[in-house]
Amino acid sequence: MGVAEYAIVSVRDQWGVLHDGEIKGEYATKEAAFETAAAAASLAIRQGHAVRLTVPGREAGGSALGH
């Protein structure tokens, strides 16, 4: 199995979950995006994948992808 990677990213004035090169969803808070990514990561673990989940700190601000 491969590695399932999830990254919480800034999307304009909201947050999204970057997975497989696409931003999934738009969430009002970073925490809401994290909860969605954590649920997806849990499923990936059950399927045998290694998982990486990253969340920017407060200082990171701005968009990781220029959105």
Q: What is the pLDDT of residues 24-45, one digit of tens each?
A: 999 999 999 999 999 999 999 9
Share the mean pLDDT of the chain. 90
User: Taking residues 10-22, what's their average pLDDT?
Assistant: 95
- In this structure, how many other beta carbons lie within 10 angstroms of the beta carbon of residue 22? 8
Residue 65 has pLDDT above 90, yes or no: no
Query: What is the per-residue pLDDT for 58?
Result: 84
Cα 45 to its chain centre, rounded Å, is: 15
Q: What is the pTM of this model?
A: 0.81
- Least Cα distance to 64 among 15, 26, 20 occurs for 15
Average pLDDT over residues 48-62: 85
Per-residue pLDDT, averaged over 44-55, amounts to 97
